Amino acid sequence: MTATTILIVDDEAAIREMIRVGLELAGYECLEASNAQDAHGIIVDQRPDLVLLDWMMPVTSGIELLRRLRRDEVTRDLLVIMLTAKDDEDNRVQGLDVGADDYITKPFSSRELMARIKAIMRRSTNREQEESIEVGGLKLDPASHRVFVDTQPLEMGPTEFKLLKFFMTHQERAYSRGQLLDQVWGSNVYVEERTVDVHIRRLRKALQTDQRDCGLLIQTVRGTGYRFSTTGVCA
């Protein structure tokens, strides 16, 4: 396995353990940062394949960094394994909610860590594309994190953006609410399926301009879910 690993901890013991583990990885790096801001910067620079995130960082809590990572288009689909104290169950749940891919309890064996890393890396294969997508009169630019119809920028929340991005990269196919939750929200959160409806509506509304109504691109597939299709409208 080849992985560049970036580690953010202040726990010396953990670091040593990491390094020991690191030896089993072909090429890894071990970094430190004292706050979420810096850490995020480093991560953006280094583009690691995997982040081992200590929940208790010296200044800020790990959750802030994790949120930051998930919010940022560039680091959104980074693999993040968090390290939590043995009895810190709340944080663990919270961490999974916010979008950690997995967690490991400290102290951990290198064996366990390896197993997890393997599992996780096996699980996630696809890297994201960063080129702007253009469909049905809509242009979505991942870099600037914006959407245009013609040249007019559209306003929408983060979730709507993700939803739209998913749709634009997966056209002409019906998805159930559950699938959308998995794909857009992430598979480790549990929210009502009806929530999807609401966001669909918000997205549709956002896609309405004075000129056109691109919201019609999102079609309801009764009894199934929704579909993004250019058949019919807003060419």
Partner DNA sequence: TTGTTTTGTCATAAAATTGTCACCAAATGT
Partner DNA sequence: ACATTTGGTGACAATTTTATGACAAAACAA
- Which member of 192, 211, 231, 232 binds DNA (CB under 7 A)? 192
Q: Which does 17 bind (CB under 5 to 8 A by kind): its own copies, DNA, none?
A: none
| 159 contributes a contact to DNA by CB under 7 A | yes
Q: Which is nearer to its own copies, 23 or 119 (CB)?
A: 119
Token match 């996780």: residue?
120
Stretch that binds its own copies, among 3-11, 34-42, 67-75, 145-153 (CB under 8 A): 145-153
Stretch that binds DNA, among 47-55, 107-115, 165-173, 200-208 (CB under 7 A): 200-208
Stretch that binds DNA, among 37-45, 83-91, 136-144, 153-161 (CB under 7 A): 153-161
Q: Which is nearer to its own copies, 68 or 146 (CB)?
A: 146
Site string for DNA, 61-100 (x = CB under 7 A): ------x---x-----------------------------
| 197 contributes a contact to DNA by CB under 7 A | yes
Token match 């970094």: residue?
31
Per residue, the 3-state secondary structure of the chain, as one string, reads: CECCEEEECCCHHHHHHHHHHHCCCECCCCCCCCCHHHHHHHHHHHCCCEEEEECECCCCEHHHHHHHHHHCCCCCCCEEEEEECCCCHHHHHHHHHHCCCEEEECCCCHHHHHHHHHHHHHHCCCCCCCCCEEECCEEEECCCCEEEECCEEECCCHHHHHHHHHHHHCCCCEEEHHHHHHHHHCCCCCCCCHHHHHHHHHHHHHCECCCCEHHHHEEEECCCEEEECCCCCCC
- Interacting residue ranges for its own copies, rule: CB under 8 A: 1, 86-87, 89-90, 92-93, 96-97, 105, 107-109, 111-112, 114-116, 118-119, 122-123, 143-146, 153, 157-158, 172-174, 178-179, 182, 187-190, 221-224, 227, 229, 231-232
